[in-house]
Amino acid sequence: MSLIQWTHFPPLGDDRGSLVALEGEKTVPFTIQRVYYLFGTKLGVSRGFHAHKKLQQLAVCVTGRCRMVLKKKKKREEVWLDSPTEGLLIGNMVWREMHDFSPDCVLLVLASEHYDEADYIRTYDDFLKLAKSLFVILKRIMVIKQFFMLVFLLLIPKLAFQSYTAL
Ligand code: T46
């Protein structure tokens, strides 16, 4: 699955101009706990360079543009955010970097959680380590699940035979 997940916001409005409405759990696929925006980013400055353990976000470039780089596992994808009607969903455990901000860029971000510095993974090394340990845990859960499935499947003929002979 691609790391680039767009949400389209149908522009409303009339001959006076446009309007976009963002509603939690409707146009935005989570409850909105926080809204912030990045603006006035200086020329040549890049931002982000972190991931979040739990936080989900939706980023919309309401004016101007910037380039978003997302990384997860072995994937690295990048995309330009330059439309007020397209939101980029950024899940948890995704490394993000923002580059090439235009001087007029206003990047609006809707977040699923309140601000919590403890949710940030601020170095790429820590991000890789945590992603790897989560992968190992997930793999172990899968193996345990498969083991119980196998035991269950092996027990079915025995249980069926026992209930047949009990009749
Ligand atoms: C993200 C990208 C897209 C707060 O006090 N409250 C807040 O809600 C936020 C977002 C930040 N801050 C403080 C923490 C730092 O002292 O504001 C300062 C700048 O934050 P940061 O360096 O994390 O900013 P960016 O532009 O690198 O990253 C931000 C978000 O933090 C991050 O979650 O995904 O925008």
* Tens-digit pLDDT profile for residues 18-38: 999 999 999 999 999 999 999
Say how many Å lie between the CA of residue 11 and the centre of ligand 1: 28
Distance between CA atoms of 39 and 21, rounded to whole angstroms? Answer: 20
Write out the chain in H/E/C secondary structure: CCCCEEEECCCEEECCEEECCCCECCCECCCCCEEEEEECCCCCCCEEEEEECCCCEEEEEEECCEEEEEEECCEEEEEEECCCCEEEEECCCCEEEEECCCCCCEEEEEECCCCCHHHEECCHHHHHHHHHHHHHHHHHHHHHHHHHHHHHHHHHHHHHHHHHHHC
CA of 34, closest atom in ligand 1: 8
Which two tokens mark 36?
A: 């912030």
Residue 24 C-alpha to ligand 1 middle, in angstroms?
21
Query: In the structure, what pLDDT confidence band is assigned to residue 167 with cuts at 50, 70 and 90?
Result: confident
HSE value, Cβ hemisphere, 13 Å, CA-based, for 76:
2
Q: 123 C-alpha to center of ligand 1: Å?
A: 15
Ligand 1: nearest atom to the Cα of 57: 34
Query: Is the pLDDT at 4 greater than 90, yes or no?
Result: yes
Is the pLDDT reported for residue 135 higher than 80? no
* pTM beyond cutoff 0.95: no
pLDDT at 54 (0 to 100): 97
Q: Per mean pLDDT, which range of 52-56, 119-123, 143-147 is the poorest?
A: 143-147
Residue 50 catalytic?
yes
What is the chain's Cα-based Rg? 23
Cα–Cα dist 49/97, whole Å: 5
C-alpha to C-alpha distance for 69 and 76, rounded to whole angstroms: 7
- Catalytic residue, chosen from 8, 50, 52, 99, is 50
Mutation test residue for ligand 1: of 35, 50, 99, the one with most atoms within 8 Å of CB: 50
| Residue 111 phi, psi (nearest 5) | -120, 145
Pair of tokens at residue 64 = 């101007």
